[in-house]
Structure 1
Amino acid sequence: MIRTRQLLPLIAGVVPLALAVQSGVSGAASRASPAGAGQATVAAERPNIVFVLTDDMSSNLLQYMPEVRKLQSQGTTFGDYVVSNSLCCPSRSSIFTGRYPHNTGVLSNEGPNGGFNAFHDGGQERDTFATALKAKGYRTAMMGKYLNGYSPGDTVDGQRPYVPPGWSQWDVVGGGYKGYKYDLAHNHSVQSHGDRPKDYLTDVLSKKSNAFVKKSAAASKPFLLEVALFTPHGPSTPAPRDEDAFPGLTAPRSPAFDTLPTDAPRWLARQDRLSPHEKNKIDEKFRKRAQSLQSIDRMIGKLRATVARAGEADKTYFVFSSDNGFHLGEYRLKAGKQTAFDTDVRVPLVIAGPGVAAGRTSDAQVSNIDLAPTFQRIGGAPVSPRVDGHSLLPLLDGGWDANSRQANLIEHRHAKRSPGDPDNNGGESISPPDYHALRTNAYTYVEYGNGAMEYYDLRTDPYQLRNVVSQLSGARRAELHDALTRLKQCDGDGCWSAGHP
């Protein structure tokens, strides 16, 4: 049963996510062998995986996606799924590898510790869910957005366009945020697209993804397909047919809207109240974000229909999520992300497929580091002990395990203004000072590099409006500090025990 604490900040007056599953596995069980006969059957049948990843999607937009809501009714929604870093490139790096940012070395979108270059130069591409599944005979396709800084026109390791290991088909765009006038790397060739309606990026990716499914099914090969969209990331360009959708739609006004938490850290406390003009801009942005998601929703419906016509519906997992969340007016912050608030770190995760409990919501503490080992377990591939996350398969049939992870780690590295970074290019987005945070189903605890701290009791303060860290005893603060330190220093199997503060 979903708790009031979970529902309110997630939706802020919007329809609830679908309903409940809870479980977990011990570190040893999830790595050494598939947990139980159900997982052994999954490995033997070699199911397909379709993974749709949006960009900057907040959970309060789910109500505008009927195909995803249908997916929820037929599968499991994780109501307490959080990302390890609420920024595009660090989060996507964790998704590919199952490792926290402090272990991937990707802490920002660009620079020596960020972007595609950090991921590539650090050797992370050699051990991803794609390399693992391709080694097991899967046809694998990556479509849409890869990592910040990747460009089809660049030569990397003697390849132009560069195709990382693990991918059978590569249809990736560099800067596709506007939806038009982009170059797409189709394997080792470049396809240029203009500004005609048929060039709208999400529709192009929809056609390519459906063709990949048909070809894979015809070849009787199991397949992994990731379609990573650029929307609803700004400028949130909708398809032409959706430009007039949702007339008059406004952003939700939760109790956190245009409100500062008590005892807010200095970087946040200096934010002024939103002006009427700023509120109007926020409403316009929210409306465009909802409009831009319509083409993604239709794509999901078409993909599911294609899978069904190919006779693959009973052995295909559909996974829907976002790389990070987004705030729009909450805590007096305009458009942006990168905070430790649930608006930014808590995002949708919906999974439907073989043996998945239908119409349920799990409140298990899960993270984007869990996706890679989940995909590998689905495909019967081994999971390296270097992976920080754990397979979600045991959580999908409605069971429960008392050993389930209790705390997730959130990491953030302050990013300076940069014209090349779409998230820190001088616009409205604010990058807080460096911080690490513990996120459990009971509280969020944050330590900043400058010594500031936050503690929000999620059971009594679901909108995170009362920072009560000063009311904690010295012993409790020391306990939280030690627990957070263990997590931010963990690696591989050690992250499982560190996730039980």
Structure 2
Amino acid sequence: MASLRGELPSLMNTLLICVTFISLSCCEEFAKSYRRPNIVLILTDDLDIANGGLTPLSKTKKLIGDAGISFTNAFVASPLCCPSRASILTGKYPHNHHVINNTLEGNCSSIVWQKTEEGHTFPALLKAFAGYQTFFAGKYLNQYGHREAGGVEHVPPGWSYWVGLEKNSKYYNYTLSVNGKAQKHGSDYSKDYLTDVLANMSLDFLQYKSNFLPFFMMVSVPAPHSPWTAAPQYQNKFNTTKAPRGPNFNIHGKDKHWLIRQAKTPMSNSSIKFLDEAFRKRWTTLLSVDDLVEKIVKQLEIRGELDSTYVFFTSDNGYHTGQFSLPLDKRQLYDFDIRVPLMVRGPNIKPNQTSPLLVANVDLGPTMLDIAGYNVSKTQMDGMSFLPIMEGLVNSTGWRTDILVEYEGEGSNVTDPACPLLGPGVSECFPDCVCEDSYNNTYACVRTIGPSANLQYCEFDDNEVFVEVYNMTADPFQLTNVARSIEQEVLEKMNRRLMILQSCSGQSCRTPGVYDPRYKFDPRQMFIGQSWQQSRLRQKI
């Protein structure tokens, strides 16, 4: 790909001659043969993989997964919508893009975000420096359209065509910003069901875009986020479906952070009924997403562009429904909340591939820039391109072994009247007074996957300096916290790696991990320049 850069001036001159002297059809064929690949990113909202989230998406799995590569170890940098979406757009960990939660005060689509990060997202680079025409449709960041952040008139830089949903996921009765102009929608299925509206707008873009330039299209659907409103034809599907009863379902989260231990075990019948119904409804909303994927792929095929287009399918975070007796939400450090689906098809990707290599959503931007021929090293992105993995050019010994996951908990100073016993500092309380978040549900984790290790190491920023460690090979459901029994050397390695990742930026985030053969552990570097949490860690373990 890089070799084409030097040829661009002469190619542009030839193309100009073609436009001037030869037929339009000739120019179209010439442009297609030399331009960069097209890129499509389909982003779902709260779609898990650990609890069967892909089950309803049979057409998506066939058209993208079976036609390309599926990553079994794809993770998010933060298990919450706005920080995770900011990581996708910027290629940065939350400690570098500074979006910490879904509120305007938490930098979600704020003026500060707009001034510091929005102009440097990978779509902005694709448009400004790689010559892509860009299209966005759907949910952007949770506070997009807020009056204090410019309203729906604000169109983020980098988008040739913009269809942004005002604020959070909805299916009916919402407002779209169509290139900065408000377009209100009601509750008529034939005109307003958001997943279908996004599908139709995407097809319109494919039909009316320029045929001379490559394109990037990002379609960000509401499903399967609450309020879990299915299209009429799918409302009665999965009527007998219940949330999976795996080994970590409806059990006490012993040896875990207090927030997990406070959940009532066993759950009440009302909580179980509530989460089962939510699980079923989530699946019904995904059937329209499956239709959307089919429509886009078929339209690309009809237009003769499918073979020159990379199609990505993923989610902003996972989800739980009853694991460790938490009724339903995200925000936790466990695999069901941080591991997501990731499937890609495209040029030079052989079909029916599965990769166990460790990738994260901070890698999406660098990968797409790499596809476009943009030099990722020029950016300050923390992620790395996994295009070599998709093309079969990298094996497990040449890839990273760990990534960072970080989350800053939310909680009010006012006691929730529905849960007075929990006191102030908590939020997101669900049926039967089970708390799903709190101000000290603030943690950072190293998720490690390598030839000789599959581990998760997490530190909480609280008065306990609580630590959770899981051997994912022996304990894939994270039932037993082994922080007090694991080898001291492993704890020291993981603590040191966490310190490095929490302060990393750009290239330093991509240095060898603790289980990478290139990594050399020096115990003399332990506890140098550590934060107060880490200085106390040695005493607590």
Instruction: After TM superposition, give the deviation of residue 188 of structure 1 in Å.
Output: 2.1
Instruction: Output the CA distance in 1 between the equivalents of 2:448 and 2:437.
Output: 23
Give the C-alpha shift of residue 267 in structure 1: 1.9
Aligned equivalent of 2:36: 46
- Structure showing greater Rg: 2
Conserved in 2, the CA contact under 8 Å of 1:152 and 1:183?
no
Of residues 440, 455, 461 in structure 1, which corresponds to 2:448? 440
Q: TM-score, normalised by structure 2?
A: 0.81
Contact 1:411 1:435 in 2 (8 A): yes
Q: Secondary structure at the match of 1:144?
A: strand
| Residues 126, 165 of structure 1: 8 Å contact kept | yes
Asked if 1:477 is matched to 2:469, the reply is no
Mapped partners of 1:267, 1:64: distance in 2? 32
Long gaps (5+) in structure 2: 9-31, 415-425, 516-541
The answer on whether the counterparts of 2:35 and 2:213 sit within 8 Å (CA) in structure 1 is no
Q: How does 1:133-212 map to 2 (within 5 A)?
A: 133-135=126-128, 136-151=130-145, 156=150, 161-175=153-167, 177-197=169-189, 198-212=191-205
How far is the alpha carbon of 1:262 from its aligned partner? 3.8
- 1:375 aligns to what? 368
Identity level (%): 34
1:392 deviation in Å?
A: 1.1
Hey, what's the Cα distance between the residues in 2 that align with 1:449 and 1:253? 31
Structure 1: how far apart are the matches of 2:428 and 2:324? Answer: 21
Q: How many residues align?
A: 460
TM-score of the two chains, using structure 1 as the length reference:
0.87
2:503 paired residue number: 489
The answer to whether residue 476 in structure 2 is matched with residue 462 in structure 1 is yes
Q: Does 1:75 align with 2:81?
A: no
How far off is 1:417 after superposition?
4.9
Root mean square deviation of aligned Cα: 2.4
Shift of the 404–52 alpha-carbon distance from structure 1 to 2, 3 Å rule, reads same
Shift of 1:478: 2.1
In the alignment, the residues of structure 1 paired with residue 347 and residue 427 of structure 2 have an alpha-carbon distance, to the nearest angstrom, of: 41
Match of 2:15 in 1: none
Quote the residue 1:13 is aligned against.
none
Taking the aligned partners of 2:513 and 2:35, their CA distance within structure 1 comes to 32
Q: Report what 2:240 is aligned to.
A: 248
Q: Does 1:392 align with 2:386?
A: yes
CA contact (8 A) 1:418 1:426 kept: no
What is the deviation of 1:133?
1.0
5+ long unaligned stretches in structure 1: 1-32
Q: Does 1:414 align with 2:406?
A: no
CA contact (8 A) 2:357 2:399 kept: yes
Task: Name the residue aligned to 2:116.
Answer: 123
Where do residues 253-402 of structure 1 align in structure 2 (5 Å cutoff)?
A: 253-273=245-265, 274-383=267-376, 384-401=378-395, 402=397
C-alpha distance 220-431 of structure 1, shift in aligned 2 (>3 A): same
Alpha-carbon spacing, 1:155–1:444, altered in 2? closer, same or farther (3 Å) = closer
Preserved contact between residue 152 and residue 184 of structure 1 (Cα < 8 Å):
no
Compare 362-371 and 382-391 and name the one that shifted more: 382-391
Instruction: Give the superposition deviation at 1:116.
Output: 0.7
CA distances 1:65-113 after superposition (whole Å, capped 9, x unpaired) = 1121102111101100000000000000000010100000111111433
Asked if the contact 1:236–1:288 (Cα under 8 Å) also holds between the matched residues in 2, the reply is yes
What do the CA deviations read for 1:325-356 (whole angstroms, capped 9, x no partner)?
A: 00000011111111110000000000001111
1:175 and 1:125, CA in 2 relative to 1: closer, same or farther beyond 3 A?
A: closer
**Cα distance between partner residues in 1 of 2:383 and 2:138:** 25
Shift of 1:500: 4.6
> Deviation at 1:265?
2.1
Relative contact order (alpha carbons < 8 A, sep ≥ 6): 1 or 2 greater? 1
- The 1:34/1:369 distance shift into structure 2, 3 A limit, reads farther
